[in-house]
Chain A
Amino acid sequence: MTDSYQFASFRDPSGFLFYKDGTLYRQVNQSYREHYDHLMKSGLYEALVSQGLMVHHAEIDDVEAVNKDLAYRVIQPEKVNFISYPYEWCFHELRSAALITLRLARTALDHGMILKDASAYNLQFVGGRWQLIDTLSFEIYKEGEPWVAYKQFCQHFLAPLALMAYRDPRLNLMSRLFIDGIPLDITADLLPARTKLRFGLMTHIHLHARTQKRYAGKEVRREDVKGKVSQRSLVGLLDSLRNTVKGLTIRTSGTEWADYYQETNYSESAFEQKKAIVKRYIERVQPSGVWDLGANTGEFSRLASDAGIFTVAFDVDPGAVSRNYIQARKNHEGNILPLVMDLANPSPGLGWGHRERESLVDRGPVSMVLALALVHHLAISNNVPLGKLAQFLSEISEYLVIEFVPKSDSQVQRLLRSREDIFDRYTVSGFEADFQVYFEILEQTPVPGSERILYLMKAKKR
């Protein structure tokens, strides 16, 4: 990917992203000129960047625009380490992103602009917080006009948050089905009736859905609509949305995996020794980035992120991801991004041409993958043959730190208790043979006090 359009960037006529010599630029079109100048001169850009609400950019003069007839400027936005999507965020991440979106809208209003686009996809985790990455999301505010992005905000943020808070945190996955946010009529049907007793949810979800239905496909003439939305009312709307979001909470304790470390048969010292080995492997390779697969609450991810390496900590359990995220926020950690991901069914390519939202594999390969206490879950609970697991891991990593958990381990025994043992090949020698097709084994270290073995591997060039 050297010179090309960025595939997801096509909806907004104000401009688009493109790559040149491997660097990402954004073309700002003439049609957006007035708004761009206002953004830069009104103090809004300064305010947003200094508060860490939006990524900074540089105006570039020596890179030619892709479409010169349309172009006003070329800018180079701050780099984002890893693009994640709302259906991979836990409740608390989506909630933070929602509050930041409202704050962006509020700050814009103070500078005579309005947030025209409230897409959750426009927020990314940069420098330890959610920031707006789309510089062209603002336009000059005209008194009296309603908020054009109101529907989008409700669909992208409020609907999934309410569903997660009132039904189940796993419903974040519904955002994967509906690329422009969860439709409000479905949301209203799925939410329990008691949500109608809350002013915010009653108006922004239930009443909103009914009004949409009532006016769907109908021609509404301006002269029939007498009302205006004053700036004060708009502030009221944003405040009301903010209070609604802030009123949504979720429990993080008592999930399947979050208590895992307390329940394993590790002794304290075995756990510490395992940490020491993984740390040594990381120091040996010095990866530029790490994906920790099955990260739980990020205990091992932090061996990399604390060393200044940007680390994505994936786990299937939204509760564990929430706990990881809260810990990261409390300690102001900027190098760790916890995400919800089921490795047996990872995020696919979605949207237009399957390429608007990238699959997990397309966002790799990463310098190093950690797969600790993971193999047995995929190989035994999910029946993935070791060879196929090795192939998948070699597609997403350059270096791999992987732990083999033998059948004699009590965790594997637990998995086998309720099913027939059809895994003849699940042995140390079978594991090594299958992985050596795709990897070169650089080092292997038994974890003292257990029967497990840690490996450092390097993917073979294909």
Chain B
Amino acid sequence: MRFGLFLKPLMYLDPGSGSFIIQMLLAGLLGIAVAIRIYWKKIVAFFRKGKTGDVQDQLDELDEYGGTNGIKSEKKDE
């Protein structure tokens, strides 16, 4: 395996060539998805003008702090 341009002395993990290649295969697609999401948010924001606080955003925030995520039973928090 020769990833000369990628591998730096600090790279102590073996990232795996397959794991690199799949990222490049997906790169275009995932990049487009991000762009679409940004525009979609703008469109949604335009129509939701005046409404304060996006509940979903707040819940997502809680998730990232290890909130009560992934609970199927009882009260669903999303």
Q: A220-B21, A227-B27 are in contact. Are A13 and B33 (CB under 8 A)?
A: no
Please, which residues of chain A bring their CB within 8 A of the CB of B4? 222
Tell me the bound Cα distance from A147 to B5 in angstroms: 14
Instruction: For B12, give its contact among A13, A221, A253 (CB under 8 Å).
Output: A13
CB distance from A193 to the nearest CB of B (A): 20
Q: A214-B18, A252-B73 are in contact. Are A236 and B33 (CB under 8 A)?
A: yes
Please, which residues of chain B bring their CB within 8 A of the CB of A117? 13
Please, which residues of chain B bring their CB within 8 A of the CB of A288? none
* Residues 369-413 of A at the B interface (beta carbon under 8 Å): none
B26: CB under 8 A from chain A? yes
**Is A246 a contact partner of B18 (Cβ separation < 8 A)?**
no
Instruction: For A220, give its contact among B1, B25, B28 (CB under 8 Å).
Output: B1
Tell me the bound Cα distance from A208 to B19 in angstroms: 6
Which of A117, A154, A228, A237 has the most chain B CB atoms inside 10 A of its CB? A237
**Is B23 a contact partner of A150 (Cβ separation < 8 A)?**
yes
B44: CB under 8 A from chain A? no
B30: CB under 8 A from chain A? yes
B15: CB under 8 A from chain A? yes
* Residues 164-223 of A at the B interface (beta carbon under 8 Å): 203, 207-208, 211-216, 218-222
Q: Name B32's closest neighbour in chain A (CB-CB).
A: A236
CB distance from B6 to the nearest CB of A (A): 6
Q: Name A214's closest neighbour in chain B (CB-CB).
A: B18
Instruction: For B27, give its contact among A230, A248, A249 (CB under 8 Å).
Output: A230
A149: CB under 8 A from chain B? yes
Tell me the bound Cα distance from A100 to B64 in angstroms: 5
**Is A220 a contact partner of B17 (Cβ separation < 8 A)?**
yes
Tell me the bound Cα distance from A154 to B33 in angstroms: 20
A146: CB under 8 A from chain B? yes
Q: Secondary structure at chain A's binding surface: helix, strand, loop or mixed? A: helix
**Is A212 a contact partner of B16 (Cβ separation < 8 A)?**
yes
Q: Name A247's closest neighbour in chain B (CB-CB).
A: B70
Q: Name B75's closest neighbour in chain A (CB-CB).
A: A330
Please, which residues of chain A bring their CB within 8 A of the CB of B39? none
Which of B33, B65, B72 has the most chain A CB atoms inside 10 A of its CB? B65
Instruction: For B71, give its contact among A103, A150, A233, A326 (CB under 8 Å).
Output: A326
**Is B34 a contact partner of A99 (Cβ separation < 8 A)?**
no
CB distance from A322 to the nearest CB of B (A): 9
Q: A96-B66, A220-B3 are in contact. Are A146 and B30 (CB under 8 A)?
A: no
Q: Name B19's closest neighbour in chain A (CB-CB).
A: A151
B31: CB under 8 A from chain A? yes
Please, which residues of chain B bring their CB within 8 A of the CB of A92? 69-71
**Is B31 a contact partner of A233 (Cβ separation < 8 A)?**
yes
Please, which residues of chain A bring their CB within 8 A of the CB of B1? 218-220
Q: A52-B65, A100-B65, A253-B73 are in contact. Are A219 and B2 (CB under 8 A)?
A: yes
Q: A232-B31, A251-B72 are in contact. Are A149 and B13 (CB under 8 A)?
A: yes
A95: CB under 8 A from chain B? yes
Can you identify 13 A-B contacts, CB atoms within 8 angstroms? A96-B67, A96-B69, A97-B66, A99-B63, A99-B66, A116-B13, A129-B65, A146-B6, A149-B13, A152-B13, A232-B34, A239-B34, A239-B37
